Amino acid sequence: MAKPIRVAVTGAAGNVGYALVFRLAAGDVFGPEREIALSLVEIPPAMQALEGVAMELEDCAFPLLSSVRLASDPREGFADASWAVLVGSKPRAKGAERSALIKDNAPLFVTQGQALNNCAAQDVRVTVVGNPANLNCAIACQNAPDIPDSRFTALTRLDHNRTVAQLAARAQVGVNRVRKVAIWGNHSSTQYPCIAHAEIEGHRGWPVFQDTDWVRNVLVPQVQNRGAAIIEQRGQSSAASAAQAVIDHLRDWYRGTPDGEFVSMGLKSRGLYSTPHDVFFSFPVTIAQGEVTVVSDLSLDSYDRCMIDASAEELVKELKTARTVIG
Q: What is the DSSP string of 107-148?
A: HHHHHHHHHHHHHS-TT-EEEE-SSSHHHHHHHHHHT-TTS-
Mean pLDDT confidence for 194-204? 97
96 — pLDDT class (breaks 50, 70, 90)? low
Mean pLDDT confidence for 286-313? 97
Give me the percent of the chain exceeding a pLDDT of 90: 88
Output the pLDDT for position 17: 97
Compute the distance between CA of residue 309 and CA of residue 299 in angstroms, rounded to an integer.
15
Q: Is the pLDDT of residue 70 over 70?
A: yes
Q: Is the pLDDT of residue 102 over 90?
A: no
Compute the distance between CA of residue 263 and CA of residue 160 in angstroms, rounded to an integer.
7
Closest CA to 228 of 254, 261, 190, 263: 190
100 — pLDDT class (breaks 50, 70, 90)? confident
309 — pLDDT class (breaks 50, 70, 90)? very high
Mean pLDDT confidence for 256-275? 97
The enclosing H or E element of 287 equals strand 280-288
Mean pLDDT confidence for 130-159? 97
Q: Which residues contact 55 (CB under 8 A, 6 or more apart)?
A: none
Q: Is the pLDDT of residue 257 over 80?
A: yes
Out of 160, 187, 197, 249, the active site residue is 187
Give yes or no: 187 in active site. Answer: yes
The enclosing H or E element of 41 equals strand 36-41
Output the pLDDT for position 101: 76
Output the pLDDT for position 308: 98
Output the pLDDT for position 311: 98
Q: Is the pLDDT of residue 318 over 90?
A: yes
104 — pLDDT class (breaks 50, 70, 90)? confident
Four-residue CA torsion sign, 224, 227, 228, 232: positive
Output the pLDDT for position 326: 79
Output the pLDDT for position 1: 65
Q: Is the pLDDT of residue 93 over 80?
A: no
Q: Is the pLDDT of residue 94 over 80?
A: no
Output the pLDDT for position 282: 98
Asked if residues 159 and 187 have their Cβ atoms less than 8 Å apart, the reply is yes
Q: Is the pLDDT of residue 99 over 90?
A: no
Compute the distance between CA of residue 198 and CA of residue 128 in angstroms, rounded to an integer.
26
The enclosing H or E element of 225 equals none
- Residue of 131 and 271 predicted with greater confidence: 271
- Residue of 234 and 165 predicted with greater confidence: 165
Mean pLDDT confidence for 138-164? 98
Q: Which residues contact 298 (CB under 8 A, 6 or more apart)?
A: 182, 196, 197, 273, 284
Q: Please tell me the chain's helix, strand, coil percentages from 3-state DSSP, rounded to the nearest 5.
A: 45, 20, 35
Mean pLDDT confidence for 151-163? 98
95 — pLDDT class (breaks 50, 70, 90)? low
Compute the distance between CA of residue 218 and CA of residue 91 in angstroms, rounded to an integer.
27
